[in-house]
Structure 1
Amino acid sequence: MKTSRREFLNYSSAFALASSMPSLVFAQSKPLFESINMFIPAAPGGGWDSTGRAIEVAAKDAGLVGSFQFENVGGAGGMVGLPRFVNQRKGQGNALMVGGSVMVGAAITNKSPVTMADVTPIACLTEEAGIIVVPVDGKIKTWKEFEEAIKANPKAVSVAGGSAGGTDHQLLGLVIKALGKNPRDAAYVAFAGGGPANAAILGGQVVAGISGYSEFAEQIKAGKMKALAVSGNKRIPGVDVPTLKELGVNVTAANWRGVFGAPGINAAQKAALVDLVTKMHDTKGWAETLEKRKWADAFVAGAAFEAQIKKYIAETETVLKELGLA
């Protein structure tokens, strides 16, 4: 069959395009990072660990990162792991650490020489309201009973939560103050992770517990814990629990979590990490994670995140002074 010059040129163009497609596809699917070293300054199973694992799933599913390597070093609200990250990851452009409000309080409480100021802020990702729970077979069954017990004697109402001086501890102090008692009388029992805190609450070792909703969700759904109140400005979507303000207690608080780069990275390395986390945040997988875990989207990146941290540190110092911890 005779082929015209026009047909020949069309065939040639089509062949050239088809030949180039594999390289184009490869370029588009190449991850932004071949690997990310994810450092979690807490034991497995808690909020920071859950955040890091959720980042891994969303980033890998979207083809943004080839692989993740995790390291968990728990203790003292991140103050055991943070110095390790600072000393061992300096200048590494593919290292990320999960941290948040708990770390701010822990650094102040422990008078740590290494603080959040020694790492590179990348982005705030989530905000989770605190929730106050009691075991269903415990002596306190309702918010009114909890409130009356605090007013009678805060020292007799033991409450489990995360690290001393962290978000959970601060929330308890704010509640006690709002109920007219001295925050320094808080009977706060600190635990290194969500697992031990859950065990203490269910085992009756403490009267109540405070943490983010996601850490108590399974026990609440299983009917083993009862949620009395949440600390956000509004109720958690899909969770029928009143806010402290609805209950007449003028307190709001939330636990934010974000990611940080290593100290000593240059502007280009920082920009690449901000770009990675921004693209991860925009994925469908991340949106589904927020919905599933009841995490509020609190995304702020780069310079705006740095300014937010400075403001939060000042506010935290004020609360911890009232608790006698700063």
Structure 2
Amino acid sequence: MRRRRFFAWGLGVAACAAGCGTEHVNVGALRTRFSINPGAQRWARVCRAFSGAARAAGYETGTGTKITVTGLPALAAAELNNGQTLADTATPLSRLTGDVEVVVVPGNSLFKDFDDFGAHLLAHPGQTLLAGGPQGEPDHLLFGLIAKGLGADTRQVDYTGYPSSQEAVTALLSGKAAAAAGLFSDWRASIGDGRVRALAVSSAARVPDLDVPTLLESGVRVDFADWVAAVGPDAMTDDSREVAIRMCEEVTGSPGWQSACRANGWISIPLSGDDFEAWLGTEVERTRAVLRDLGLLDTTRATRCGIGCGNGH
């Protein structure tokens, strides 16, 4: 049985969802039956859409091989909360979707474009008040990557994390922050009514119907998404892993899944099997590095070897 490395879950319940119980070994059942669960409430909507597309493709859901839908925040939480080597607690199967992030400022901001904002952040990282979701989560990671890409002193970045996107909107509009980052879907309404202006999007390609440059176009070498993936339990045989990967590939290539992504504003970014595992190794390293740059991880701690070590990092 091949052993696979992945991140330790931020919540114990997620680990249970990924691996509690005994895996079915009946080959016929493994080919058609999957128990698909979200690792946390934040992934419930993607999980429902994925389960629905799997059923439409002819698979039974609710029982069978355990699959957990999880994402980038869980990876970052493992780094922040566990302070230990990446654990062999799950088997990477497939990347599913990504949410585009956007950098925004108030409608009356003196920053007319991303160049203005970037110049100020580079010159005054400690006086450029930034806001978004909780510390260490994707919005914070994005600002860390932007600061590093600009050449700013990342440890001086002044970031305040808020429990919800609405609180981040309130903070930005009340003057408690000069700029904010968050999911485009969460900021769409405020952008549409002119209360805020978008300076850049985090994806490699522009967002349709939004006349806003990408970070890459703006001179910052960052391609970033709040991604979601499917993983299996650690104690997964090669046969059941391959069956689950084939299911993921069939589902993410189906018209029903593409329709669900369009309806929810998700980017469909399928990547499966060994390719996904290799990509995940680089994502672990990037996440760990930016958390260190932001001062959220102890850089004096001994180097840890996890999934990245297995990919030559």
Task: State whether structure 2 residue 126 is matched by structure 1 residue 131.
Answer: no
Residue number in structure 2 paired with 1:25: none
1:137-174 Cα deviation digits (max 9, x unpaired):
66656434423432442223332333433332222122
Residue number in structure 2 paired with 1:212: 183
When residues 249 and 37 of structure 1 are mapped into structure 2, their CA distance, relative to the original with a 3 A threshold, is closer
When residues 179 and 244 of structure 1 are mapped into structure 2, their CA distance, relative to the original with a 3 A threshold, is same
In structure 1, give the amino acid aligned to 2:184.
Y
| SS state at 1:280 partner | helix
1:52-109 Cα deviation digits (max 9, x unpaired):
2332343344453455xxxxxxxxxxxxxxxxxxxxxxxx854332222333333223
Task: State whether structure 2 residue 218 is matched by structure 1 residue 242.
Answer: no
| SS state at 1:110 partner | helix
When residues 318 and 36 of structure 1 are mapped into structure 2, their CA distance, relative to the original with a 3 A threshold, is same
For structure 1, the 5+ residue unaligned runs are 1-29, 68-91
1:190-237 Cα deviation digits (max 9, x unpaired):
345545544544555433221232332343334443211012333123
When residues 302 and 116 of structure 1 are mapped into structure 2, their CA distance, relative to the original with a 3 A threshold, is farther
Work out which of the residue numbers 145, 152, 155 in structure 2 matches 1:174. 145
CA distance in 1, matches of 2:110, 2:68: 40
Aligned 8 A contact 2:122 2:153 in 1: no
| SS state at 2:181 partner | strand
Residue number in structure 1 paired with 2:59: 64
Q: Tell me the percent identity.
A: 29
Work out which of the residue numbers 226, 229, 237 in structure 2 matches 1:255. 226
TM-score by length of 2: 0.71
Work out which of the residue numbers 298, 310, 316 in structure 1 matches 2:287. 316
CA distance in 2, matches of 1:60, 1:190: 38
CA distance in 1, matches of 2:170, 2:58: 38
Residue number in structure 2 paired with 1:149: 120
Q: Which has the larger radius of gyration?
A: 1
Aligned 8 A contact 2:49 2:260 in 1: yes
Residue 301 of structure 1, CA deviation: 1.5
Aligned 8 A contact 2:38 2:70 in 1: no
Aligned 8 A contact 2:30 2:240 in 1: no
| SS state at 2:118 partner | helix
Work out which of the residue numbers 265, 269, 278 in structure 2 matches 1:307. 278
1:234-276 Cα deviation digits (max 9, x unpaired):
3123322111232333443333221112332333443343233
Task: State whether structure 2 residue 50 is matched by structure 1 residue 55.
Answer: yes
CA distance in 2, matches of 1:256, 1:123: 11
Residue number in structure 2 paired with 1:102: 73
Aligned 8 A contact 1:237 1:294 in 2: no
TM-score by length of 1: 0.68
When residues 114 and 176 of structure 1 are mapped into structure 2, their CA distance, relative to the original with a 3 A threshold, is closer
CA distance in 2, matches of 1:191, 1:116: 29
Residue 123 of structure 1, CA deviation: 0.6
When residues 40 and 206 of structure 1 are mapped into structure 2, their CA distance, relative to the original with a 3 A threshold, is farther
CA distance in 2, matches of 1:211, 1:234: 17
CA distance in 1, matches of 2:174, 2:161: 15
In structure 2, give the amino acid aligned to 1:214.
S
Aligned 8 A contact 1:135 1:208 in 2: yes
Aligned 8 A contact 1:236 1:294 in 2: no
In structure 1, give the amino acid aligned to 2:252.
H
Residue number in structure 2 paired with 1:19: none
Work out which of the residue numbers 255, 259, 267 in structure 1 matches 2:238. 267
Q: CA RMSD in A?
A: 3.3
CA distance in 1, matches of 2:154, 2:194: 31
Work out which of the residue numbers 243, 250, 275 in structure 2 matches 1:279. 250
CA distance in 2, matches of 1:60, 1:192: 34
